Amino acid sequence: MTILRGFTIVALSVLLCALVGVSVGYTLGAAAPGYYRTVFRNGNSPEFDPVQVGVGLGLTQGLLCGLVVGCVVVISVTWYNSRRQIIVREFGPEAESSRSIAEKSEAIRAS
């Protein structure tokens, strides 16, 4: 995996999760404003806007979630590719052809 591909995966994950977070926060603030009013202590004040709170919380939580998900995906794919290269190097066709028949089979042993 290249650095550009890893960065692109993290950026797209952050963007997607932020958009989902904003939409969930907006929907929750618009459809059930009482939720944010009960969660926050000054929710009953006149300048408290549950839609703005929902959008802000959804955005920040979505950004953090996207960052974590993107980093986990990049680390997992990188780890898998590094392990795959080691396995192919150890057990690939070139490695088997270079071993002698005596090393491959335990049935053929000199006594």
pLDDT tens-place string over residues 58-97: 999 999 999 999 999 999 999 998 888 777 777 766 655 5
Query: How far is the CA of 60 from the CAs of 14, 65, 86, in angstroms?
Result: 10, 9, 39
Which DSSP category does 1 fall into? -
Instruction: Name the residue type at position 47.
Output: E
| Entry pTM | 0.74
Measured CA to CA, the distance from residue 72 to residue 46 in angstroms comes to: 42
